[in-house]
Structure 1
Amino acid sequence: MWCIATVTLPLPLEDTFRRVAAGVMFVVGTLFPVAGVVAFRRAKTTVDPRTPEASSTLVSSGIYRYSRNPMYVGFAVWLLAWAVFLGSGWGLLGVMFFVLYMNHFQIAPEERALRALFGDEFRAYEQRVRRWL
């Protein structure tokens, strides 16, 4: 994203506005993964996304009532904050590629593992709660 920002025209945003907006987005983005980790810790289940099969509980409370992947939402908001900080409209491609990559290579395998582990309970959760927001 930084490389793209250095070779493209910046967005016509005043520096102070751009920096404050990026800071606010970063703070908001931080709340999502923190809330996700807190919910997992309270449920005494794994936080490690590399081992969804080690999950002992399907967490659907707290932030997980609104998003099945609040940690990834937070990371995407961090990238959005970075694009705004850089003042790069083209930098938004980084956010788009992150979402596409995560959907295909991380979230889909996690969801398959959780469907296998929790069956109908996870399927019902998928119907109630969106993948991102």
Structure 2
Amino acid sequence: MGFTPSHAILRLATGAYMINSGVSKLSLDEESAEAIQNMAANAIPQVKQIPAATFGKALAASEIALGSALVLPFVPTKLAALGLTAFGVGLVATYAKTPGLTHADGVRPTPAGVAMAKDSWLAAIGLALLVDRKRRKDPKPAKPVKA
């Protein structure tokens, strides 16, 4: 998959957002890291096995690494998109499984869930980058038909 202008726009905007989000988490205090970890544990219970401070640093590093992969043009789009899709799906699962973030239908966000509901866009952008295929020219042009 090539690095097209449409990919560049999606990758740069999303990557910059991810880097900023990760950098802001580098200075998380223990209490904030634990709150994020508790939300993540609703979708992935194994994260509770990690100390909260370590989880916060790992999350920050993951977001910075993923954002960097998105903005660096030498990282293949498919690889960056796989990472973004996985990360986005994890965030959507956290949103869906955290009590109080959705209405009774389990989809629409409550006022408390609006901030997490927007993470569905990250998963959607990752999927869009994965399924977008550049049209390839036929390697062998059709031979003219002799009359």
The TM-score, its normalising length taken from structure 2, stands at: 0.38
The TM-score, its normalising length taken from structure 1, stands at 0.40
Larger-gyration structure (1/2):
2
